[in-house]
Chain A
Amino acid sequence: MRIARGWAIVLLGVPTAFLVAFFVVPFLVVVIASLHAKEGGWTFANYAKELTDLYYWNTLWLTFKLSLWVTFASLAIGYPLAYYVTYVLKRRTVRRLFYVVVVTPLFTSNIVRSFGWMVLLGRRGMINDALMSLGLVERPLPLLFTEASIVIGLSYIMTPFMVLTIASVLQNIDRSLEEAAEDLGAGRFTTFLKVTLPLSLPGIIAGSLIVFTLSVSAYVTPSILSGGKKIVMSILIFQQYTSVFDFNFGATLAVTLLILTILLVGGYLFVMERGPRVVASGA
C-alpha cells in the first residue's frame, strides 16, 4: 500500500509527538535538573558532589559488578537451554511446553519472582532445609540478604530474556552449513565450536546487552533480596526522589548511571565487533 504523503505525516506524526511530549521532554527535564542546584541556577555541583565521594563510586562498582555476574550466569544457563530447545527438541508439544515455562516467569512481576527466592533461600527455606537434612551443613547458611542472593534472584529473572534472544538467532542459522561441516568430517562438537557458536554470536551479544542493561537498572530484586543491606544505584536514585526529596541529586545519579551504561555497552560492542573477526581469520 502506498501511503499518501499527508496520511503518512499524520500517522507517524501523532505517535512521534506523543513520545516527544511524554518521553523525550521528561527525560530532558531530568538532565536539566541534574545541572541545577536545589535553589535554582545552573551548576555542576551535583556531579562534583557525586564524583568526589567514594561512596558513590563504590555503589556504582557494586552495581556493575553484580550486573556482570548476572550476565555471565544467565548466559551459562540460557545458552545451553536455548540450544536444547532449538536443536534437540523435535516434538512441537514439548517445545511449546518449554516456551510456556520460559515465558511464564517473564510475565510475572519481579516482586513475585524475588519473593519465590526469598522463600527458597531463607534460613528456614527449602535450600537450607535440604542441605541440613542431607547432613551437609549443621546450621542454616546465611544465603538471603547477600550479594549472592541478589545475583541468584536477578539471574533467574534475566534467564528468559537470554534464552529467547539466543533461541531466535539459533533458529535462523542455516542448517546446511552445519551439515556441510559434518560431511567434511567434523564431529558434532567441532561443528558446534567452529560453525554454530560463531554464527550464534549475535544472539549472545544481544542477549548479554539486554541482560546487562536491565540488571544495572533493576530496583525491585536488589531491594527485596538485599534486605536493605546492599545498596545499588537504583536504590540510591529512588531514595533521593522519595525520601530525601532531592530531585536534582537524584537526577544526577540517574544520568550518571545512564551515561556509564551507554559507555560500557558501547565499549563492549566495539570490542565484540572487532574480536570475532580476528578469531575467524585466525582459525
Chain B
Amino acid sequence: MSVGTPFRIGRLALSGFGWLALLYLAIPLAVIVGASFTTTAYLRFPPVGFTLQWYGQFLKDPSYLRAIWTSASLAISAAGIAVVLGVPAALVLARTRFRGRRTLSALFFSPLILPAIVIGAAVLQYASALGFARTFGAVLIGHTVIVIPYIVRTTLASLAGFDQSLEEAARDLGDSGIGAFFRITLPTIKPGVIAGTLFAVIISWINVELSIFNTTADLMTIPVKLFNYIQYSVDPMIAAVSAGTIYVAILVVVTLDLTVGIDKATSMNR
C-alpha cells in the first residue's frame, strides 16, 4: 500500500472534517447547557458567571414537575406495551412463513413512514369520534403506535443471526418450549430488546408532533410545554429545562453504550 503525499493530505482533510462535524453536532446542545448557568436574566452564551438558580426555579414549579411526570409515565407505559406487543410479533415474523407475512411486516414498520403529524391528527380525530379525545389514553395509544417499529426492528435484527438448532437441542434434551425460550431465545434477543426499549422510551419522551394535537393545559408533556414556551419567549430558565432533557439524553445514550454497545445498538436500528 503506497502512502503518498496526496493521500496524506486527503486523509488530513477528512480527519479535520470529521472533528469539525463532531463539533457541529455538539455545539447547539453545548450552547443550551452553557446558557442555563448564566447569572444574567436574559440568555447569554458564553454564560456570565455561574448559578444554579434557574434549575431551582423550574424544579420549584409544579407545572414543570407534572409535565415531567406525564412524559415519563407516557414513555415508560408506551415502551412497556410496545415490548409486550412487538417482541412476540417479531418472533413470529422471524420464525414462520405464511402468505401475507410481508404485508404484515410492512404494517409493523409503517408508523415510521407515516408523518407523525398525520398520526397525531388521526389519533385526535379518531378519539374525538369515540369520545376520549385529549385524554392520557389517547396520547398513550398514539405513542405506543409510533414506538412499536423500534422494538420490532431491533428484535428482528438480533434474531437474524440466530441458530435455531440451539433451541431444538435444548428441547431434544428435555427442555419445555417455554423453558427453551427463557434459557436460549431470550438471552439472544436481550440486547435487541434492551436497545429497542431504550429507543422507544426516548422517542416517546421527545415527541412533540403527535402529543401537541392531543394534549391540554392539564395534560401536558414536557416537550409540548417547552414548545409552547419557546415560541413566545426564551430565557435562562427555559434553557435550564432544556438542559435537563439533554442530561436525560446523555444518560440514556451512556446506558445504551454500557449495556449493548452504542455502535451495535444503532446499527440494529437501521
Structural contact, B21 and A107, CB atoms closer than 8 A: no
Partner of A188, one of B10, B104, B209: B10
In Å, the complex CA distance between A141 and B220 comes to 36
Interface residues as binary, A9-27 with B (CB distance below 8 Å gives 1, 0 otherwise)? 0011011101110111111
Instruction: Report the minimum CB–CB distance from B28 to chain A (whole Å).
Output: 3
Give chain A residues whose Cβ lies under 8 Å from the Cβ of B91.
3, 11
Mark A193-227 against chain B: 1 for CB-CB distance below 8 A, else 0: 00000000000001000000100110110011000
- B122/A12 in contact, CB under 8 A: no
**Chain A's nearest CB lies how many Å from the CB of B148?**
7
Please tell me if A123 contacts chain B, counting CB pairs below 8 Å.
Answer: no
Which A residues are in CB contact (< 8 Å) with B209?
A: 217, 219-220, 234
Do A15 and B86 touch across chains, with their CB atoms under 8 A apart? yes
List of B residues within 8 angstroms of A237 by Cβ: 117-118, 121
CB < 8 Å neighbour of A189 from B10, B45, B114, B115: B10
C-alpha spacing A250/B122, complex, angstroms: 10
B41 at the interface (CB under 8 A from A): no
The residue that B107 contacts in the complex, of A24, A102, A159, with Cβ under 8 A, is: A24
B223 touches A27 (CB 8 A): no
Is A254 part of the binding interface, using a Cβ–Cβ cutoff of 8 Å? yes
A182-B10 Cα distance, complex, nearest whole Å: 16
| Residues in A neighbouring B234, C-beta threshold 8 A | 115, 118-119
Chain A interface bracket (under 10, 10 to 19, 20 to 34, 35 or more) = 35 or more
Contact for B202 among A101, A107, A188, CB less than 8 A: A107
Which residues of B have CB within 8 Å of A69? none
Contacting residue for A234 out of B6, B117, B171, B253, CB 8 A: B117
Q: B122-153 interface mask toward A, CB cutoff 8 Å, 1 = contact, 0 = none?
A: 11111011000000000001101100100000
Q: Are A220 and B227 touching (Cβ within 8 A)?
A: yes
From residue 87 to 127 of chain B, which have CB atoms closer than 8 A to chain A? 88-89, 91-93, 95-96, 104, 107-108, 110-111, 113-119, 121-126
Query: Do B115 and A258 have beta carbons less than 8 Å apart?
Result: yes
Cβ contacts under 8 Å, B24 to chain A: 77, 156, 159
Residue contact B212 to A238, C-beta cutoff 8 Å? yes
Interface string of B34-49 (1 = CB under 8 A from A): 0100000001010000
CA distance A99 to B25 in the complex (A): 11
Q: Is the CB of B245 within 8 A of A223?
A: no
Bound CA–CA A77/B144 (angstroms): 33
Query: Is B26 part of the contact surface with A, judged by Cβ < 8 Å?
Result: yes
Q: Does A35 sit within 8 A of B, measured CB to CB? A: no
**Considering only CB atoms, which chain B residue lies closest to A216 in the complex?**
B115
| Cα–Cα, bound, A55→B245 (Å) | 38
B contact residues, range: 35 or more
Q: Are A25 and B85 CB-contacts (below 8 A) given A171-B267, A224-B230, A241-B213?
A: no
| A113 to B131 CA separation, bound complex (whole angstroms) | 35
Q: Which of B25, B205, B208 contacts A159 (CB 8 A)?
A: B25
CB atoms of A99 and B117 under 8 A apart: no
Cβ A258 vs Cβ B114 within 8 A: yes
A-contact 0/1 string along B251-268, CB 8 Å cutoff: 011101100001100110
Contacts of B95 in A (CB 8 A): 1-3, 8
Contacts of B21 in A (CB 8 A): 77, 80-81, 84, 159
Are A8 and B92 also in contact (CB < 8 A) when A15-B108, A116-B31 are? Answer: yes
Q: Is the CB of A98 within 8 A of B113?
A: no
Q: Are A257 and B86 in contact (CB under 8 A)?
A: no
Closest to A103 in B: B253
Docked-complex contact A108 and B129, CB < 8 angstroms: no
In the complex, the answer to whether B14 meets A95 with C-beta atoms within 8 Å is no
CB-CB contacts below 8 Å: A219-265 with B: 219-220, 223-224, 234, 237-238, 241-242, 247, 250-251, 254, 257-258, 261
Besides A104-B253, A111-B242, 10 other CB < 8 A contacts? A12-B88, A12-B104, A15-B89, A19-B145, A107-B206, A116-B32, A167-B267, A168-B267, A189-B6, A217-B209
> When A and B form their complex, which 6 residue pairs have the shortest distance between CB atoms, in order from nearest?
A116-B28, A217-B115, A84-B18, A26-B126, A107-B249, A26-B122
Which residues of A does B touch, CB under 8 Å? Answer: 1-4, 8, 11-12, 14-16, 18-20, 22-27, 29-30, 33, 77, 80-81, 83-85, 88-89, 95-96, 98-105, 107-120, 126, 156, 159-160, 164-165, 167-168, 171, 182, 187-189, 206, 213, 216-217, 219-220, 223-224, 234, 237-238, 241-242, 247, 250-251, 254, 257-258, 261
